[in-house]
Amino acid sequence: MDRWRTIIEPFRIHSVEPIRLTTVEQRDAALEVAGYNLFNLHAADVLIDLLTDSGTGAMSRDQWAAIQHGDESYAGSPSWFAFLKGVQTLFPFRHVIPTHQGRAAEKILFSVLGGPGKVVPNNTHFDTTRANVEATGAEAVDLVIAEGRDPAALHPFKGNMDVAALERLLDERPADVPVVFVTVTNNSGGGQPVSLENLRAVRAVCDRHGVPLFLDACRFAENAWFIKLREPGQGDREIPDIVREMAGLADGMTMSAKKDGLANIGGWLALNDDALAEQCRNLLILTEGFPTYGGLAGRDLEAIAQGLREVVDEDYLRYRVASTEYLGEALDRAGVPLVKPFGGHAIYIDARALLPHIAPLEYPGQALAVALYREGGIRGCEIGTVMFGQQPDGTESPAAMDLVRLAIPRRTYTQSHIDYVIEVVIWVAERASGLRGMRIVEQPPALRHFTARFAAV
Ligand code: F0G
């Protein structure tokens, strides 16, 4: 293991999917039809799809085999019990409520806990989490540490919560905070991990104020790997053990199995509070389904149960984080401004720094994402003013950062695909001063990044 420096994919390919090369002219035409919104593209027109790491990973032989064991009984299926065991092995919460994906768990939880006058703190809310909080009339506040807002600041746990700011909020509005959330890893802040030390400190504040702590645990395994690598005293621990400690510090969690569940669909809400679980299950039945399948088929439950065994494997996590870092290091050497240190699931290009001639309200992230697709067929995702600039009152203001995320689907692309991405990004970055900003010509009242249409300024 220690003899060779190259960290290889710890798998070989068993089934292949074609990807299609297109020309710049074809992609220009596709962009026009899509209103310059990469969510509107046909995926078949994308060569390397780094839009998201959510539900886009490759399942293993053993997951496909598990799917054959899927039992589609409406109630009490063996697949449900396999899923329950898989979840509770890592997250020993009393109640596990399966949902079709993470945001369904958020919707249910905040429907019970949210409402006008309430405020939900998080290190950084993901867009759906924020939208689900705000949809109830509650307020979503981001309290990540100062380093977490500075793309260039180096800190081993840039996803940490600002504990003093949390304490202040709880002192000022003791009756208004129904739950404190910590997102691991902090996706909107660059895929940055949260330390055990920080989770313990947040737990202590929550205890003093009698407020429950929930994890948005989408990328829990990557977070645990960073804890093992970076946190003093954690290097010899097993990953499942670190995950259980993270879970033990919380009262509940929301989860998207499309990330560290290594599945294409699925999620859950888990918690200890009996009365709250009862209320959530009643809502689950209205929209997702009976509590032993939620929004999922028995086969999905099986795929997740197996995925949870594979995602905590150290060979997998070493490769996962090293391959993301490989992309980051190559772009960094070429001088492309990036969020550092590199996160686990994605590399984030600092579009505001790369395109200083484009004002935030002319969406430098969108301009860069469109250019990467136009030049190389690479689909990334703007995480900036398009995604977060729209305020609930209809006004617009610049987001804290304008980033383009290149999210790496799990176990899907090889090193040569990534070498191609590196070549294209560097080519575009070298010509960044020629890119123009964008304006929005059409947008919905919320979550506009999914459907807005754009034109060049
Ligand atoms: N929380 C975090 C931190 C997420 O990253 C996501 C999804 C969700 C919640 C919602 O989960 O998609 O299963 O409903 N993130 C994806 C992404 C979509 O591209 O980062 P979901």
Q: What is the mean pLDDT of residues 310-333?
A: 97
Of the two residues 7 and 34, the one the predictor is more confident about is: 34
How remote is the CA of residue 217 from the centroid of ligand 1, in Å? 10
Give tens-digit pLDDT for 389-445. 988 788 999 998 899 999 999 999 999 999 999 999 999 999 999 999 999 999 998
The Å distance, Cα 128 to ligand 1 centre, comes to 7
**Protein residue with least CA distance to atom 2, ligand 1:** 126
Q: Is 385 in the pocket of ligand 1 (CB under 6 A)?
A: no
Is the beta carbon of 186 within 6 A of some atom in ligand 1? no
Q: What is the pTM of this model?
A: 0.95
- Enumerate residues 6+ apart whose C-beta is below 8 A from 287: 104, 107, 108
Count of other CB atoms within 10 angstroms of residue 204: 14
pLDDT at 252 over 80: yes
| Separation between Cα atoms, residue 226 and residue 224, nearest integer Å | 5
Q: How far is the CA of 129 from the centre of ligand 1 (A)?
A: 8
**Residues 6 or more apart whose Cβ sits within 8 Å of residue 177:** 118, 119, 120, 121, 169, 170, 209, 211
Question: What is the C-alpha to C-alpha distance for residues 268 and 348, in angstroms, rounded to an integer?
Answer: 27
Pairing of strands 403-407, 381-383: antiparallel
Determine the Cα–Cα distance for residues 25 and 232; give it in Å rounded to an integer: 52
Please give the pLDDT value at position 151.
85
Q: How far is CA 377 from CA 366, 371, 383, in A?
A: 15, 9, 19
pLDDT single digits (tens) 168-219: 999 999 999 999 999 999 998 889 999 999 999 999 999 999 999 999 999 9
Which bin fits 232, alpha (ψ -120 to 50), beta or left (φ > 0)?
beta
Kindly give the number of the ligand 1 atom that is closest to the alpha carbon of 103.
14
Residue with tokens 């799809």: 49
**Ligand 1 pocket mutation, candidates 100, 258, 262, 379, criterion most atoms within 8 A of CB:** 258
pLDDT recorded at residue 393: 85
Choose one of 56, 184, 256 to mutate for the ligand 1 pocket test, by most ligand atoms within 8 angstroms of C-beta. Answer: 256
Q: Is pLDDT of 1 > 60?
A: no
* Cα–Cα distance list, 162 to 7, 167, 200, 279, 311 (Å): 35, 9, 13, 31, 29
